[in-house]
Amino acid sequence: MDLVVYDTFDAKKKKFVPVREGHVGMYMCGMTVQDRPHVGHMLAFVCGDMIRRYLEYKGFEVTYIQNFTDVDDKIIARANAEGVDYRVIAERYTKEYFKYADMLNIKRASVHPKATDHIKEIIEMIEALISKGFAYEAGGDVYYEIAKFPRYGMLSKKNIDELKAGARVEVGEHKRSPLDFALWKAAKEGEPYWESPWGKGRPGWSIECSVMSTKYLGETVDIHGGGEDLIFPHHENEIAQSEAATGKKFVNYWTHNGLLNLVGEKMSKSTGHFFAIEDIVKEFEPDVVRFYLLSSHYRSPMEFSRERLAESRAAVGRMANTFRSVEAYLGDYKPKGSLDELTGKDAEFWKKVQEREGLFRKAMDDDFNSAGAIAQIFEIAREVNLFLSAPETPGKKLTLARALEKIKELGEVLGLFKSLGGEIIRLEDLPQEVRQLVEERAKARKAKDWATADTIRTQLASMGYHLEDRPEGTVVRK
Ligand SMILES: [Zn+2]
């Protein structure tokens, strides 16, 4: 089956053909590290991670680049407000990103380049754009001249004349046209700066992505991802910069995820409530949050609320029950024997599992339809539960053990069920520190101190340990 991918630029699904056979170059616009990551950021990175994992599952070698914008107006403003160097802010929130990315099972990129590590290459690309006539220097700033790039607006399908009418030149800017955007900004008093042919200054926002994408992935990349909110102007600017500089097509498939619709007053960005991922994982297990973020097609807008998360928790809980029941039935059984020699009911059951696996791939091949793929994993779980309650057959243990492995394997393709798939560790085999926390949590639960119990659960999750409270006691998985 061919993989088809929707491309925002061509506004249609296209058969996926990489530039280099067997290899995929994928660029993901990363965070501006100015604040704690919120769930909208993490949605984009979970979607990118899901696409990457599926490409790897299909056998592609994926080079995945996700940058950090580590110098920018907001970072500088925050640094000034706190009276610290901008690097303190950038490093703090870079760390925060990795902390929550790990919790949400987002794999590390092949490279996480930073803007400030690429100033030399940024200056080189700006010089090339000036010498080719696409950019001009004015008052220590350098601007990209939109009028020189007739394809501007083709990604976002925006009308340039209308945009121009709505835009304005800010005080202190020296643009020829209000839509021209800054490639280089002259340093103001007290701002961090680098030396350049145009005097002391720092890069504009979009230039770093063009530079890093070319440096790590070549002139044309297969996939470029990010939230829909980046289409204009950021990605439009990236195309204008890269295609003017190289003369080549910049991106073959633009994959933009739909945005989160925060439902309810308490979730508004301005009040900050229930929006930072830090707060969300205090209430909901990271596995549940990731499940929820992948439970719609990545291009659809998503409603985000406690109710929706609670539904996801229930679904993950049902899957946990299936794991539990099969594990209890299997005991210490170790799978042996071949699935090719199955007969009767065993063969019938295994055939159903394989059919569902095929449908899982079919859903993912259709523009990474994770919602459809998740539904197929649950269909396997449904078959497992039915077969579990069926009369004993010669291959029942073998097929159920293999079916459980299949659920784990397909879950792993989406980065799901991390907390269910891990090995169960006996309390006495846990590291001292972990064991102590598990015992403290048991005490808190006994005293009905749910807040403390939840805090400890989150702490253990960040250490890679997942808890399941069963009637006979708490089970810990790594
Ligand atoms: Zn970008």
Say which residue the tokens 């001292």 belong to.
432
Q: Per-residue confidence at 267, pLDDT binned at 50, 70, 90?
A: very low
Tell me how far the alpha carbon of residue 208 lies from the centroid of ligand 1, in angstroms.
7
Tell me how far the alpha carbon of residue 219 lies from the centroid of ligand 1, in angstroms.
15
* Model pLDDT, residue 271: 52
Q: Would you say 17 and 263 are in contact if contact means Cβ atoms under 8 Å apart? A: no
Q: Per-residue confidence at 273, pLDDT binned at 50, 70, 90?
A: low
- Report the distance separating Cα 284 and Cα 260, nearest Å: 17
- State the CATH class of domain 4-257: alpha beta
pLDDT greater than 90 at residue 348 = yes
Tell me how far the alpha carbon of residue 34 lies from the centroid of ligand 1, in angstroms.
16
CA–chain centroid gap for 123, Å, is 30
Average per-residue pLDDT for the chain: 93
Say which residue the tokens 């169960």 belong to.
424
Tell me how far the alpha carbon of residue 212 lies from the centroid of ligand 1, in angstroms.
9
Tell me how far the alpha carbon of residue 462 lies from the centroid of ligand 1, in angstroms.
29
Type of residue numbered 478: K
* Model pLDDT, residue 247: 96
Pairing of strands 302-304, 141-144: unpaired
Tell me how far the alpha carbon of residue 301 lies from the centroid of ligand 1, in angstroms.
21
Tell me how far the alpha carbon of residue 111 lies from the centroid of ligand 1, in angstroms.
14
Tell me how far the alpha carbon of residue 65 lies from the centroid of ligand 1, in angstroms.
11
Tell me how far the alpha carbon of residue 255 lies from the centroid of ligand 1, in angstroms.
13
Check residues 226 and 170 and name the one with the higher pLDDT: 226
- DSSP letter at 148? G
Whether omega before 233 lies within 30 degrees of 0, making that bond cis, reads yes
> Region 333-362: what's the mean pLDDT?
95
Beta bridge pairs of residue 257: 227
**Residue 81 is encoded by which pair of tokens?**
């407000």
Type of residue numbered 196: S
Residues 6+ apart with CB under 8 A from 351: none
- The full 3-state SS of 30-87, as one line of letters, equals CCECCCCCEHHHHHHHHHHHHHHHHHHHCCCEEEEEECEECCCHHHHHHHHHHCCCHH
Lowest mean pLDDT among 176-180, 287-291, 359-363: 176-180
Q: What is the dihedral of CA 436, 467, 474, 333, to 10 degrees?
A: -120
Tell me how far the alpha carbon of residue 123 lies from the centroid of ligand 1, in angstroms.
17
pLDDT greater than 80 at residue 320 = yes
**pTM of the predicted structure, to 2 decimals:** 0.90
> Region 173-191: what's the mean pLDDT?
92
* Model pLDDT, residue 123: 98
Tell me how far the alpha carbon of residue 209 lies from the centroid of ligand 1, in angstroms.
5
Q: Per-residue confidence at 202, pLDDT binned at 50, 70, 90?
A: very high
> Region 198-212: what's the mean pLDDT?
96
pLDDT greater than 90 at residue 172 = no
Q: Per-residue confidence at 74, pLDDT binned at 50, 70, 90?
A: very high
Q: Would you say 60 and 222 are in contact if contact means Cβ atoms under 8 Å apart? A: no
pLDDT greater than 50 at residue 216 = yes
Q: Per-residue confidence at 427, pLDDT binned at 50, 70, 90?
A: confident
Nearest Cα to Cα of residue 191 among 95, 85, 336: 85
Tell me how far the alpha carbon of residue 302 lies from the centroid of ligand 1, in angstroms.
22
Tell me how far the alpha carbon of residue 94 lies from the centroid of ligand 1, in angstroms.
16
Tell me how far the alpha carbon of residue 7 lies from the centroid of ligand 1, in angstroms.
17
Tell me how far the alpha carbon of residue 172 lies from the centroid of ligand 1, in angstroms.
25
Tell me how far the alpha carbon of residue 355 lies from the centroid of ligand 1, in angstroms.
40
* Model pLDDT, residue 85: 96
Tell me how far the alpha carbon of residue 237 lies from the centroid of ligand 1, in angstroms.
9
pLDDT greater than 70 at residue 83 = yes
Q: Would you say 427 and 435 are in contact if contact means Cβ atoms under 8 Å apart? A: yes
- DSSP letter at 137? E
∠ CA 461-463-469, nearest 5°, is: 35
* Model pLDDT, residue 265: 43
* Model pLDDT, residue 70: 97
Query: What are the extents of the domains in the chain?
Result: 4-257, 423-478
